[in-house]
Structure formats: structure tokens, C-alpha cells
Amino acid sequence: MLLQVLGRVDASLACYEGVLEASWDSVGVLNNYGSSLLLGGREREGTAILGRVLSLAPDMLHALVNMAGHYQDEGLMDLADTMLSRAMVAVPQSNVRVRRALITSPTCRDWVHMVSDRLRMEARLRGLLTDTGPQLVQDSSLDRVPFYPVYNGFNDRVIMELVGAAYRYRLEGIMAVAPHVTPDLEPLLLGLAAGRRKTRVAFISRYFGVYEPHGMLLDGIMAYLPRDQFYVIAMPIVGSDGKPLSYVIRDSVDEVVQLSLGHDHALAMVERSKVDVVIFADTLSEPMTHFLAQSRLAPVQMAFWGNPITSASSQIDFFVSADAMEHPYRTRIPDGHDPYSEQVVLLGGQGIWYFSAASVRASVMAADPAFAALLLVPPDTKLVTKETLDLPEGAVVFFCPQSVFKMHPHYDEVLAEIVALSPLAYVVVTQGRRKLWSDTYHRRLRNAVNRRFVVLRDSAGGEEHLAPHQTRAALLDRLISIPRTYAQFFDELLQGVADVMLHPFPFDGRYYVVG
């Protein structure tokens, strides 16, 4: 279990397999083994092992939660909800009711599905606030966060404040306070102003690895904070993908403190560093930063726009955004409509230091040629280009290379309208991380194209009056889906395919262009 918490999935699998040779029916070991298999991307084997656990121990809480997490990741939300409901019946006083309240679909079937997801989430959160049972101790069953609602295009402050209120009401000790933090900031400010010591500032995220976006947004800031005033600490949370820490971050910060996947251990590591300022690069991408942000780890705490949504944590003082990322009149928004619970700090432009793709590639090559070689496009790999897509001469490709969970149902209509513009107008989108995500999204797109076809047909007075490029089949042919690609190959993909880069609303190019 320790190896799993440290992100060493292969080593943990080897240990579990060794134990299981002597005791194949140990449900606890089998559950951890199945969980490690899922973490390592071996879904078929992992679900088979967890199925065996549940055949031996149908009411085992963590096996039910692990299976629910798998179903949720796949987009099988009804099955995920069933597993969590079984867990609530098996162990009524557990974190599972909180966990179940946060469940939302990664890819919605349509606008109605999206809204109903949010309404159900809000109702369950309000239900938690009326619960009269004893407070619960946070444990590993709270392994998911409310990640997807931010892409719905609503003001999320209310629902996120409900999340925070539910945590504080239902979870015992959710708001830890580091021993060095006191209500009186005057001694700290006087010491810093007198120059007796530097400000200790820590940046925390699980996404500080090579080519990971949240690190790429902040690595230049970590590198160039003036060292006569700041002592900069990077606190990467271990991952299971084997990516090393960004070499720019590694080589430019004053100290690296790696945090494990164990909440209490990570909390202790941050407390031990006695930092003055904590900056969370993201608070909604994964559970560790999400729950650490509920505690007071430093006198000043900030959330950066790695997740462009309020943390709604009572312990986050500032939200760091930028002029180009917010509404031009955001300072005139009445408090009741402000999307942030934190005080917003607006930096200039996009508020980031973004190195060029060529300089990032060069830094990786210089720091670790062996790892850089793994990132090269294999010689026999055929990247997608206009030629491999067999597009006609003169075709104009509108490329929207975003994750399918970021694609709003209303934006489907925009893509459908683009393919109807001209026989040479092609829309290229990327597939999802999971097959069901792609299937759901592509079905939505086809439905949008069908609706556009009906408008064209009716406007023309019948299908027989349509131009050849306006038929249903022709429209669908100009809507193309290609496989996802790795970040280091994206430049080549962009050059080989795109004439026009599309940024979907509600987050348009302000956020997506840096992704």
C-alpha cells in the first residue's frame, strides 16, 4: 500500500502478486491489487480482480468504491451510482455519501443531461447539509472531485460553496491548521519588510511533470521570482505515469519537496516546510490539492487558474487570474454575482510565463537525452495530416483539438454550421480518453449535423433542391474525428492539419490557447 501511495505502481503490483501467491483469497490484498491495476491502466484485469473481491465480500466498502471509480472514469454513470449506493447501504456511516454527491458525467448526451447532472449534484449536496449523523473521518474513499461542472458554462460559485460547506459540516478535521500559522500576521510582515529573511513560497500541483500544462504555465514564474526576496519551493504530488518533474522547475527552484498520495503525510510535509505563501496551481484536477486547499497551511494561500473556477474554500485568500482571462467589466460585478469567493488578483495579459515549444523541447533534451528520446515521434509513426485524411485540394480544415469533456453541447451547433458553409469546409475534432466518451460526443455531433441538414432542406424546399455538399451524408463526411495525441507531438499535428484553430465556448481562446 505504501508503494501505491508513493506512485510506484509497478513495484506495488509486484508486491501484491508476491503476497497473493500465498493467499489468493485475501480480499484486502485483492482489492488493493485490483486498485493498482486500474491505476496502472490495466482496466480489464483490474475490474476482473475487483469483481472477484465483490463475489467473496459483496459489502466491502473500498472494493465497491474502487469499482465505482472505474465506472465513473469510463462514463458509465448509472453503474457508478449503483456501486456507491451499495456502499452506502453496506456502511451507512462512511464518506461515500459525500463521494456520491460529487458524481457528474464526463461527457453529457445533451444540454438537458448537463443541467440535470448539476441539479442532482446540488440536491445531494443540500441533503448532506441536513444530515444529523456524526461527522466522518476523511479517507481514501473520497477519491474523486467535482471536476466537470466547470465546463458547463455557468457561474459555479454557488455549487462550489455548497461543496465546501458539505465538507466542513460532514468531515471531521477537514480544516487543519499548520502549527506555524497564527492569526497575527504582523510579526511575519515586519520580519519580511525588514529584510531579515526571504518569503518562503510553495507551488503545489500533481501536474508539474514534463509537458504537463499546469507546470508549463508557472515554471517561468518559479524561475524568475526575484531570489533576493523569495525562497521558492516546488511541491509536486507524485503521479503514476512515470513522468519526471519538469526540468525547468527542477533546475530553477530553491527546493523540491515531493508530496505523496497520502493526505495526512502530504499535509505533514507541507507543514514541515513552514511556508509563508502557498500557491495551488489547481484545486479541482485531483483529490490531493482539492482537499489540501481546505486547510490552512500558510499565512497566505492562493489558487491559480489551472482550474479556472473558484475553489470556494474558506482557506483560500486570493484567486490569481489575469486581465485577458476575465470579463472586461468584472470589477463592476455585484458581489452576489461574482463567480469567485476569493479576492481576485488580476495580472497583466494571461498572467503566465509560457516558454515556446522549441525551448521546452531543448530543455528536455539538454537535461535528459534518454528521456527526450522517448518523446520523439517514432520513425514508423504516421502523424495525421491533410494527406493521410485524403482531403481534396483546397480543403480548409477547422481544427478543434480539445478534450471531449470540454466540448459544450451548444458548441456542437457551431461545428455543424461550419461544415455546411462550403464543400471545402472540414471540421476535425479529437477523440476522448475513453471509448464511451467519444461515442457520446460523436453521437451529439451527428445529431447537430442532422439538425443543420433539416434546416437546409426545409429552407431549400426539399432535399432534391440541395447542393451536393449539403446532403446529410456530405455534411457528415466533412466532420472528422482523429485519435488523441501526446503533447510533444502537437506542434507537428497542428502544422499538418489545421488552417483554422477553433476554441470552444464557454472558455474560448482565453484558456484553451495555452492548453
Residues paired with residue 233 on neighbouring β-strands, in sequence order: 202, 255
Average pLDDT value for residue range 444-458: 97
Query: Where does residue 322 rank: exposed (0-12), middle (13-18), buried (19+ CB within 10 A)?
Result: middle
pLDDT for 188 equals 77
Average pLDDT value for residue range 422-443: 95
Residues paired with residue 426 on neighbouring β-strands, in sequence order: 397
Per domain, the residue ranges of the chain are: 186-347, 396-512
Average pLDDT value for residue range 401-415: 94
82 touches 147 (CB < 8 A): no
Chain mean pLDDT for the chain: 88
pLDDT band at 512 (very low <50, low <70, confident <90, very high): very low
CB count, 10 Å around CB of 261? 21
Helix, strand, coil tally for the chain in percent (to 5): 50, 10, 40
Average pLDDT value for residue range 123-150: 90
pLDDT for 240 equals 64
Largest CA distance in the chain: 82
pLDDT for 514 equals 46
Residues paired with residue 201 on neighbouring β-strands, in sequence order: 232, 277
pLDDT band at 192 (very low <50, low <70, confident <90, very high): confident
How is residue 334 written as a grid cell? 455585484
384 touches 493 (CB < 8 A): yes
For residues 266 and 254, give the distance between their C-alpha atoms in angstroms, rounded to a whole number: 19
203 touches 236 (CB < 8 A): no
Tens of pLDDT, residues 35-94: 888 888 889 999 999 999 999 999 999 999 999 999 999 999 999 999 999 999 999 888
pLDDT for 4 equals 54
Number of continuous H segments (helices) and E segments (strands) in the chain: 21, 13
For residues 313 and 316, give the distance between their C-alpha atoms in angstroms, rounded to a whole number: 6
Residue keyed to cell 462550403: 422
- Residue 476: CB partners within 8 Å, gap ≥ 6? 446, 449
Q: pTM of the entire structure? A: 0.89
Regarding predicted confidence, which is higher, 35 or 127? 127
Q: Distance of CA 363 to CAs 177, 224, 247, 249, 366, Å?
A: 38, 16, 7, 11, 5
141 touches 263 (CB < 8 A): no
377 touches 493 (CB < 8 A): no
Which CATH fold topology does 186-347 show? Rossmann fold (3.40.50)
Nearest alpha-carbon partner for 398 in 406, 386, 410? 386
Tens of pLDDT, residues 481-507: 998 877 667 777 788 889 999 988 876
| Angle made by CA atoms 235, 288, 54, in degrees to the nearest 5 | 140
